[in-house]
Structure 1
Amino acid sequence: MKFDGIASFVAVAEEGSISEAARALRLSKSVVSERLAELERSLGASLLHRTTRRVSVTEDGAAFLERAKRILQEVSEAKTDLAERRGTLSGPMRISAPVTFGRMHLGPALYPFLAANPEIEMSLDLDDRRVDIASGVYDGVVRHGTIDDSRLMVWRLAPSRRVLVASDDYLARHGVPATIAELNAHKGIFYTNRGVADWRFATPKGVEIVRARIGFRVNNGDMMRDATVAGLGIALLPLFIAGPDIRDGKVKVVDVGVRPASEFIYLAHPEGRRPPAKLRALADHLKAAFGDPPYWENGVD
Structure 2
Amino acid sequence: MNDIPWRWTRAFLLVAEHGSFTAAAHASGQSKANLSQQITELERALKVQLLHRTTRRLRLTSVGEGYFERATLAFQQLDAATEWAMQSTRELKGVIRMNAVGGLVGEELIAPLVFRFQQAHPGVEVELDFSSLRVDLLTSRYDLVMRMGELEDSTLVARRLHQVSTRYVASPELLEQHAPVRRPEDLQGLPLIYGSVDHWLLKRGNQQRVVQARGGFKIVSGHAMRQAALSGLGVTRLVDVYVEADIARGDLVEVLPDWSDTTPLSLVCPPHRYQLERVRALMSWLIQEFPDVYTRALREGLAAKRVR
Deviation at residue 220 of structure 1 after TM alignment: 4.7
Q: Does 1:252 align with 2:252?
A: yes
- Equivalent pairs: percent with the same residue? 26
CA shift in 2, pair 1:130/1:61, >3 Å: closer
> In the alignment, is residue 95 of structure 1 matched against residue 98 of structure 2?
yes
Q: Report SS of the residue matched to 1:198.
A: strand
CA distance in 2, matches of 1:179, 1:59: 51
- Shift in CA distance, 60/252, structure 1 to aligned 2, threshold 3 Å: closer
1:1-301 to structure 2, matched below 5 A, reads 6-7=9-10, 9-17=12-20, 30-31=29-30, 33=32, 36-37=35-36, 39-40=38-39, 43=42, 45=44, 55-57=58-60, 61-62=64-65, 64-84=67-87, 86-100=89-103, 101-120=105-124, 122-133=126-137, 138-145=142-149, 147-151=150-154, 153-174=157-178, 177=181, 183=187, 185-193=189-197, 196-201=199-204, 207=207, 209=209, 211=211, 214=214, 215-217=216-218, 220-242=221-243, 246=246, 251-254=251-254, 256=256, 258=258, 260-270=260-270, 275-276=274-275, 277-292=277-292, 294-299=295-300
Name the SS for the 2:161 alignment partner. Answer: strand
Amino acid at match of 1:265: L
**SS of match in other structure, 1:31:** coil
Matching residue's letter, 1:296: A
1:256 is displaced (CA, Å) by 4.6
Amino acid at match of 1:130: R
Q: Which is worse superposed, 68-77 or 171-180?
A: 171-180
Superposition deviation, residue 238 in structure 1: 0.8
Cα deviations across residues 158-208 of structure 1 (Å, max 9, x unaligned)?
221332322355335337757777656433333444x74233346xxx556
CA distance in 2 between counterparts of 1:38 and 1:114 reads 44
RMSD: 4.2
Matched residues in 2 for 1:179 and 1:149: separation? 30
Secondary structure, counterpart of 1:291 in structure 2? helix
AA partner of residue 297 (structure 1): L
Length-normalised TM-score, structure 1:
0.71
User: Which deviates more, 1-10 or 284-293?
Assistant: 1-10
1:258 to 1:66, Cα distance in 2 relative to 1, 3 A: closer
Q: Report the Cα offset of residue 297 of structure 1.
A: 0.9
Q: Find the aligned partners of 1:111 and 1:34 in 2 and give their Cα distance.
A: 45
Distance 1:73 1:134, change over 3 A: closer
- Report how many residues are paired: 289
Give 3-state SS (helix, strand or coil) of 2:152's partner. Answer: coil
| TM-fit CA distance, 1:142 | 0.8
List runs of 5+ in structure 1 lacking aligned partners: none
State the secondary structure of the residue aligned to 1:199: strand
The alignment's TM-score, normalised by the length of structure 2, stands at: 0.70
CA deviation string 1:87-124 (max 9, x = no partner):
34444544332232333332222223234445545444
Q: Which amino acid aligns with 2:282?
A: L
